[in-house]
Each structure stands twice: as structure tokens, then as C-alpha cells.
Amino acid sequence: MSRNYDLSDPTDLQMINAEFENYSPEEWQEFIDFSLLPENKKIVSYDERGILMQMRKKALYKGYPTPKQIVWALNVIDKIEEAKG
């Protein structure tokens, strides 16, 4: 699924934040764990793994990352979901 958002549109910003809130810290951890498996290290880059870790931390402490970070993380999730099949 391709996620294309206009970061200058207030409606899209609300949708981005809502998408972020849909994932619990445990779900972020599942994505991180998947990315750390030896067979998946080539699917998810070091930087992409890092953004997943940032999202987990923000979700855990009820913080909000920037919309750009959220969109990046959502795209990484899409990549992981596609790899899972």
C-alpha cells in the first residue's frame, strides 16, 4: 500500500497522527524484532530499523514524532508487511 500524504495539508496531518496512534509500542516492537532476524536484515536497513525504534519510544512515552518521521515509519511497515507476504 502506497501512502502519499501532503505534509502541508492539515487534514493529512491529522490522518498521519491517527495512523501513528493505531500502533501500540508492542506492535512497533514486533516490527523491530522482525527487522532484526538474520534473514530480514537485508530487507530493512539500519536507518529504517532506527526509525522503527524511535516510533516505539514515542508511542511508549505518549510523544509525537514529526509527520515526516511517521510517514517514513509507515512506509517501512508497508515494506515489512509486503516481505511477510
The Cα 33–Cα 37 span in angstroms is 7
- Per-residue pLDDT tens over the stretch 35-45: 999 998 899 99
How wide is the angle at C-alpha 56 spanned by C-alphas 27 and 81, nearest 5°? 45
Residue by residue, DSSP assigns 44-79 as S-HHHHHHHHHHHHHHHTT----HHHHHHHHHHHHH
- Per-residue pLDDT tens over the stretch 11-34: 989 999 999 999 999 999 999 999
Q: What is the mean pLDDT of residues 49-64?
A: 93
Q: What mean pLDDT value characterizes the chain?
A: 91
Given the C-alpha cell 491517527, which residue does it identify? 18
Q: Is residue 50 over pLDDT 70? A: yes
At residue 69, the pLDDT reads: 94
The Cα 58–Cα 17 span in angstroms is 12
